[in-house]
Amino acid sequence: MRRSSWVLFSSLPLIAAYGSLAYAGTTTPATPESGVAAPSPTTAPVGPAPQSAEANAAAEQDALAAINRDLLTAEEQVDQTKERVFRAKSTLQLLKEIVIEGSSNGGQLLILHENRLAGGFTLEAVTYLLDGQTKMTKADVSGALDENRELKVSEGTIPSGNHTLSVEFKVRPTGYGVFKYAQGYTLDVRSTYQFAVDLGRACTLRTTISEKGGAVQQLQDRAKTKFDLQCETVDGK
């Protein structure tokens, strides 16, 4: 009996050591009282899918196109502004010439030549003199003067006061109608016109040569000259 008890007591340390090893290899889930949470499976964060390279390139192209449209619109607006400024400067320069120079020296005068001869006559030469000074002289027997029905003789500042315009036309019958016998003749048509230009006024003097009607009219009297003077202030009144 004593020997058995000694064997039992001598075996207790081995049993205790085995139990400790067994207890260490056993995993016990943590409880709320222990304060340690059990590990949980991890999940990847959910977010938008990355865009493809084609989508990024398309977005960049759209942005560049929008920028180009804005630049083109701005450039057109700048060009329109420049054009308006240029027109304004031209108008101011013209007003300066008419108002300042015209007010100090007199007025403005524009002389126009108008050819209204019918097919029975051709204009071979024209001469314009203003106050004895030649303003225009042209001669062409080929009939080229008939093609230009209106010509600008002169334009510029003129002293205020009275003036005289002298014109001379050389007209040749073309042998049309009852004047076939006069085909080799030329007619010299001379006329003068006296007029006045007031201070600061802009005037247009139109000289017209035309053919008189009537079958009984003499050949030398078939061509006539007409003068028409129109004047206005700078503001058009």
Q: Give the CATH number for residue 126.
A: 2.60.40
Question: How would you class 112 by CB atoms within 10 Å of its CB: exposed for 0-12, middle for 13-18, buried for 19 or more?
Answer: middle
* Confidence at residue 106, expressed as pLDDT on a 0 to 100 scale: 82
Q: Kindly state whether residue 72 falls inside one of the protein's structural domains.
A: no
Tokens for 31, please give them: 């409880």
pLDDT(57) > 70: yes
Q: Kindly state whether residue 212 falls inside one of the protein's structural domains.
A: yes
**Between these two residues, 161 and 42, which has the higher pLDDT value?**
161
Q: Kindly state whether residue 125 falls inside one of the protein's structural domains.
A: yes
Among 149-158, 168-177, 203-212, the range scoring the smallest mean pLDDT is 168-177
What is the pLDDT confidence band of residue 133, given thresholds at 50, 70 and 90? very high
pLDDT(165) > 60: yes
* Confidence at residue 192, expressed as pLDDT on a 0 to 100 scale: 97
Q: How many domains does the chain have?
A: 1
Among 58-72, 139-153, 176-190, 195-209, the range scoring the smallest mean pLDDT is 176-190
The DSSP bridge pattern shows strands 106-116 and 133-139 to be unpaired
55: part of which helix (H) or strand (E)?
helix 53-96
* Confidence at residue 224, expressed as pLDDT on a 0 to 100 scale: 87
What is the pLDDT confidence band of residue 231, given thresholds at 50, 70 and 90? very high
pLDDT digits (tens, 9 = 90+) for 7-24: 444 454 544 444 444 444
pLDDT(51) > 90: no
Q: Kindly state whether residue 20 falls inside one of the protein's structural domains.
A: no
Q: Kindly state whether residue 31 falls inside one of the protein's structural domains.
A: no
pLDDT(122) > 80: yes
**Between these two residues, 4 and 109, which has the higher pLDDT value?**
109
Tokens for 118, please give them: 């019918």
Give the range of the structural domain holding residue 112, as residue numbers without chain letter.
106-232
**Between these two residues, 177 and 160, which has the higher pLDDT value?**
160
3-state SS, residue 224? strand
Q: Kindly state whether residue 68 falls inside one of the protein's structural domains.
A: no
Q: Kindly state whether residue 1 falls inside one of the protein's structural domains.
A: no
- What is the mean predicted confidence (pLDDT) over 136-141? 91
Strand-by-strand arrangement of the 121-130 sheet: 133-139, 121-130, 161-173, 187-197
